[in-house]
Structure 1
Amino acid sequence: MTAAALNRTHERKANTNNGGLMLLLNFVVLGAAIWALTQTIAYDDGSFALLMAFLVVLFVFILVGFYSLQPNEAAAITLFGNYKGTDRTPGLRWVLPWYKRTKISLRVRNVTGEKLKVNDKRGNPIEIAAVVVWRVTDTARALFDVDHYQTFVDIQIETAVREIASHFAYDHAEEGEATLRGDADQVSALLREKLQERTSVAGVVVDETKLSHLAYAPEIAGAMLRRQQAEAVLAARRFIVQGAVEMVQHALEQLSERDIVKLDDERRAAMVSNLLVVLCGDRDAQPVVNTGTLYQ
């Protein structure tokens, strides 16, 4: 184990008291103080005055020890800088007044990262941002092992996103290689794993990560858009040609099987050429009526 791991603070349960019982006790002390005051006025007795002063001090002593916790909220208890434990029990609580209570939220938090301009695996400048869902699970680490744990998490999110972006190409990677655009689930899973490694020192658990923004940088967005459009046109053309070839093949087979017309190789090639022109052309074909024979 490293020295940093050995020096980590671990959360433990604090010894605190039920605030309701202490509140009831405080009302009893208050009532006794009021009774001592009436006795002091009625009998002008110094002993009752001393009792009243003691009860007032005791009332204030108990009063300043109260604190309350909401659901999914905790309080780290320290004594002169020495960590004594964490109280996670919601409701009215009480501890000795010289113990310091530092409250910390245990609720789930959403962080939407800023758009970062980074280079992908191929060196193309891209814009990327992520949404991270996280929560504090170890209050001692969050408060005492890092300085300002929320800022620490925000910085680690930016660092992890930059690292992940450099491991993947935006798109058009080699065969079998994941991309940022095409494999969002795999990228998000790896981002969560990397981010968890970085934030575990702060007692934080990362529940979910998702890419919220992914685009080429403005300086190359136009060129990449034209490339994508060209690739889309080529893919469409390839599909059209494949379908046209199948249709021509089917037409020739039907003509031959039904003995509608017999074509030699030259006329068969001419028919194939004409059908492919009609099926693959961008414009509607203009019909031509042949009034002679097939060979004129």
Structure 2
Amino acid sequence: MSETDGGARAARLIRNESTTEIPVHLLFRDDPDPVAVPLRPAVVTKAQVERATTKTPNRPAPARTPRRPAPSVDPDLEERSCRALPGALGVFGGAVGAAGAAAAVGWAGALPRIMTDLAGIDGYAGAGFGPAQWAALAGSGALALFGVGGLARGRTGGAWVLTRFGRYRGSVRRAGLLWLNPLLVRRRVDLRLRHWRSEPMPAVDTNGEALRVVVLVAWRIKDTARATLGTEDHETYLRECVEAGLARVLSRLPAVVGDRDAPVLRNAEALGDLLTRRLAEDAAPVGIEVFSAQPTRIEYEPEVAAAMRRRRIAALDARRRDTVLTSVVDSVEDTVTRLTARGLVDLDDYERKLLVKDLTVAFYTGRGE
């Protein structure tokens, strides 16, 4: 059948190694009135959806950067208030117990002669220590010890952390004379705002230069239960967090760079803010509130400081030489231009070179001195 039969056209195909079979008449259509093909919505089968959503076993999943685990303590360990009675009740109980013990001893007739004379008891021999006398003496003594033993002095800016048999029972933040259960173990905690200045701690910048840094930290205890029971020693924990946070922060920034817009360790405000955020995140789980962590001194190690000093002096000397040389060249150019423009001298190329050379040496020598 020929190409003109029935208006049909043979399908010409483009074939090569990198493409599939593409009908040429779809690329170069020369029909005057192409037949409009209605568009239909694509029908997606269930198998296609499953293939698209199923992970290919041969393709490994993208590796994720492991996040640093945040420090944590017992989630049930949280500060709560403990009941504390006024200290006057403990004093009253101790006085009543002491009076009862004295009465029991007097009942048994064991008071000294001088005490009976003062009490106005003449010729009283006493009933002796029987079960009743011993019970009265024991009860009065226990009341006196219980009343006096529970007295505690609460200070402004301090708190008591109370435990019994290793279990946390509560905290008391009241000030003044208080009465606490004497069967509870007490731990005094300082709630005042405190400053801690570190010793020179070793660190390195992003270029590996050895540094010594002194940090001033302003902090206080926010949760007495976590600060006391959540860690063995909260002050030691804070010092270790400062050293670890300092190593992480300083290792990301260089001490000195050539670009003035780049962040460096000289920017104390930005460095302090970054260190404060890091330290606050690490100290918050143990009940410590960090307000500021500011490096007060950043210096190189002695062996590195000498090399950096020589490098800085060389850079300053090179900068000074470049400035002086630029100024000398401008002065020589201006002098030669004025001499020739005013017609004071008529120089050829050789004489001009000699004049420029002599003026450059003279001006440079004078500027150098």
TM-score interval, smaller chain: 0.7 to 0.9
Match of 1:203 in 2: 287
Q: What residue is the counterpart of 1:289 in the other structure?
A: none
Aligned to 1:150, what secondary structure does the other structure show? helix
Q: Return the TM-score normalized by structure 2.
A: 0.63
Amino acid of the residue matched to residue 185 of structure 1? E
* Partner Cα distance (1:51, 1:265) in 2: 132
Whole-angstrom CA distance in 1 between matches of 2:297 and 2:344:
59
1:167 deviation in Å? 1.1
Which stretch has the larger CA shift, 162-171 or 234-243?
A: 234-243
Shift of the 161–50 alpha-carbon distance from structure 1 to 2, 3 Å rule, reads: same
Bigger radius of gyration among the two = 2
Tell me the equivalent position of 2:243.
Answer: 158
Residue aligning to 2:195:
110
User: Which sits farther off after the overlay, 238-247 or 83-92?
Assistant: 238-247
Give the match for residue 254 of structure 2: 169
Are residues 1:186 and 2:254 paired?
Answer: no
Task: Tell me, yes or no, if structure 1 residue 221 matches structure 2 residue 289.
Answer: no
Which residue of structure 2 lines up, in the alignment, with residue 19 of structure 1? 87
Relative to structure 2, which stretch is displaced further, 74-83 or 196-205? 74-83
Aligned mate of 1:31, from 99, 110, 114: 99
Answering whether residue 94 of structure 2 is matched by residue 10 of structure 1, we say no
CA distance in 2 between counterparts of 1:98 and 1:186 reads: 50
Equivalent-residue separation in structure 1 for 2:213 and 2:284 (angstroms): 24
| Corresponding residue number in structure 2 for 1:291 | none
How much has 1:124 moved relative to structure 2?
2.0
Deviates more, 1:29-38 or 1:144-153: 29-38
Q: Give 1:56 shift.
A: 2.0
Give 1:86's match in structure 2, choosing from 171, 177, 180.
171
Q: Indicate whether 1:145 and 2:213 are aligned.
A: no
Q: What is the CA deviation profile of residues 181-216 of structure 1, one whole-angstrom value per residue up to 9, with x for unaligned ones?
A: x20111111111111111111111112222233222
Which of the numbers 131, 145, 148 marks the counterpart of 1:60? 145
Change (3 A) 1:250 1:86: farther
- Normalized per residue, the structure richer in helix is 1
Other structure's SS at 2:207 match: coil
- Please state whether the residue corresponding to 1:132 is helix, strand or coil: strand
Aligned residues: 278
What are the superposed Cα offsets for residues 123-167 of structure 1, whole Å, 9 maximum, x if unpaired?
222222322222211111111222221211111111111111101
Q: Which moved more, 1:56-65 or 1:116-125?
A: 116-125
1:83-133 deviation digits (Å, cap 9, x = unpaired):
121111122221122122111122333333232333211222222232222
Contact 2:93 2:148 in 1 (8 A): no
Identity %: 24
- Deviation for aligned residue 1:27: 2.2
* Distance in 1 of aligned mates of 2:91 and 2:215: 47
Q: Any unmatched runs of 5+ in structure 1?
A: 256-260, 285-296
Residue 281 to residue 82, structure 1, CA distance change in 2 (3 Å): same
- 1:66·1:93 contact (CA, 8 Å) conserved in 2? yes
Structure 2 vs 1, CA of residues 240 and 17 (structure 1 numbering), >3 Å: closer, same or farther?
Answer: farther
Distance 1:263 1:158, change over 3 A: farther
One-letter identity of the residue aligned with 2:264: T
User: Would the alpha carbon gap of residues 26 and 233 (structure 1) be closer, same or farther in structure 2, given more than 3 Å must change?
Assistant: same
Q: What TM-score do you get using the length of structure 1 for normalisation? A: 0.76
Change in Cα spacing, 1:215 to 1:32, as seen in structure 2 (3 Å) is same
Residue 283 of structure 1: how far off its partner (Å): 4.6
